[in-house]
Amino acid sequence: MAVTDVQTPARPRLAALDTLSESQIRAIRAIPRHDAAVPPAIEACRSASIFTADERHALEQAKVFRALPVPVTLSARLPEPGSVLAHDGYGVPLVLTRDKDGQVRAFLNACQHKGSKVVESCEPHMAGRLVCPYHAWTYRLDGQLMGVPRQETFAGLDKSTRPLAQLPCKESGGLIWVILDRHAKADFSSLSDQFAADFEAMEIPTAHVYGYKRFDLKANWKLVLEPFLEGYHVQRLHAQSIGDMFADVPNVYDRFGRHTRQISGKMNFSPDLLEGEVKNIHDIVTHAYLAFPSTVVVTSPYYISVMIIMPTGTTSSKVDYFMLTRGPPDNPKAESLYARSYELILKVFGTEDFRAAEISQEGLNSGALDTVVYGGLEHAIPEFYEILEAAFV
């Protein structure tokens, strides 16, 4: 990131409307004036059991999280050849590498000798090879077994037949997608080219990871996801933080296969604000993406939030939160801006949105509700469940 005036905070994430994709621009220009936007009334509900039943959790695991591509981490976490990252968020031990040719690969994190984890730390780091800590079997970053101590004691051992177990893997739009079943076909046709174009326009593939935090939550993954699909809660749940920045109005909703995009104007938005010079489009609009099944991307004026929500049980989940900036802060005002932003967003998500998911789970566990009901400002939630349930067929 280049900063020419140290008296000015870090440059906005995006400088102008025309830096976005054509699809994003069309959606932004379709946002109505807030005083002319009327939320619809809808009739929609779901059984409360989708958040509490072990059978439902097992179905989601079998048909979605173990069968379809899921985002595991960001390209920015493996920025150059030699990058290595272990990952355990989905309950499957993984190790991801970027090999000498720049290709990202995903493997089960299990040595082909006795199954020991090859990489123990989940911190990203650089390495020329992967060495099992148990017996020092050594692998190249492409997964090939290259060294076995005292190999002469293993009669007939052919190293070429014992590479790390590789999983189907693909980079798209700055996300690293993996199919967690190593026997599955490498089918990534469900990924969205439009999402990739949008994310590339927002520079997500080359972003700097300013902050990262993992949350362990006592809530079903869908309860964690729901707030990021609707604006109904914002003025209430976030009344003491960001609630006054957003209005109770519909947004512009687009669906790209299984994935969805919502773009909304901030408080008192008017299309007139798009005329003339717009120094930072994210001062006046917010993008909220759902990369199916459970990754959320939300824009802010000076950073982008990415949340990968991972179910760990029927009523438990993990969230990997990333705060992305165009580059690392290179002056005191930029550092102050990013630090304050990171503190605020962890408060908003961690103590407000995630807390709401956990207290909802407690109430649902009591059996007090047979169904959960959704209103017009939450229309994207029942639509999401239609997409999810279609994957069960």
Phi, psi of 211 (to 5 degrees): -140, 145
As a residue count, the chain comes to 393
In this structure, the answer to whether residues 43 and 97 fall within a common structural domain is no
Closest CA to 175 of 143, 207, 217: 207
In this structure, the answer to whether residues 204 and 110 fall within a common structural domain is no
In this structure, the answer to whether residues 37 and 127 fall within a common structural domain is no
Residue 377: other Cβ atoms inside 10 A: 19
> CA-CA distance, 71 to 86, in Å (whole number)?
14
In this structure, the answer to whether residues 260 and 142 fall within a common structural domain is no
In this structure, the answer to whether residues 196 and 287 fall within a common structural domain is yes
Q: Strand 316-325's sheet: what is its strand order?
A: 208-217, 316-325, 304-313, 295-299, 285-291, 259-265, 252-256
Answer yes or no: is 183 within a domain. no
Q: How many domains does the chain have?
A: 2
In this structure, the answer to whether residues 253 and 344 fall within a common structural domain is yes
In this structure, the answer to whether residues 150 and 293 fall within a common structural domain is no
Answer yes or no: is 12 within a domain. no
> CA-CA distance, 300 to 280, in Å (whole number)?
10
Residue 99: both structure tokens together:
């090999």
Which single residue is written with the structure tokens 């985002």?
A: 71
In this structure, the answer to whether residues 99 and 171 fall within a common structural domain is yes
CATH of the domain at 332: 3.90.380.10
Question: Under a CB-based contact definition with an 8 Å cutoff, are residues 81 and 99 in contact?
Answer: yes
Domain residues for 249?
17-62+192-390
Answer yes or no: is 268 within a domain. yes
Average pLDDT value over all residues in the chain:
93
In this structure, the answer to whether residues 162 and 202 fall within a common structural domain is no
In this structure, the answer to whether residues 276 and 358 fall within a common structural domain is yes
- Is residue 14 scored above 80 in pLDDT? no
Share of the chain above pLDDT 70, in %: 96
What is the value of pTM for the model shown?
Answer: 0.94
pLDDT tens string 103-159: 999 999 999 999 999 999 899 999 999 999 999 999 999 999 999 999 999 999 999
Confidence of residue 1 (pLDDT cuts 50, 70, 90): very low
Answer yes or no: is 221 within a domain. yes
> CA-CA distance, 391 to 240, in Å (whole number)?
38
- Among 178, 210, 244, the domain boundary falls at 178
- Is residue 352 scored above 80 in pLDDT? yes
Question: Under a CB-based contact definition with an 8 Å cutoff, are residues 317 and 309 in contact?
Answer: yes
- Region of residue 115 (phi > 0: left; psi between -120 and 50: alpha; otherwise: beta): left
- Is residue 86 scored above 60 in pLDDT? yes
Answer yes or no: is 334 within a domain. yes
* Residue 94 C-alpha from the chain's centroid: 17
> CA-CA distance, 162 to 122, in Å (whole number)?
24
In this structure, the answer to whether residues 82 and 54 fall within a common structural domain is no
In this structure, the answer to whether residues 78 and 163 fall within a common structural domain is yes
- Residues near 29 by beta carbon (within 8 Å), at least 6 away in sequence: 271, 274
CATH of the domain at 169: 2.102.10.10
Per-state percent for the chain, helix, strand, coil, to nearest 5: 30, 25, 45
Answer yes or no: is 3 within a domain. no
Answer yes or no: is 6 within a domain. no
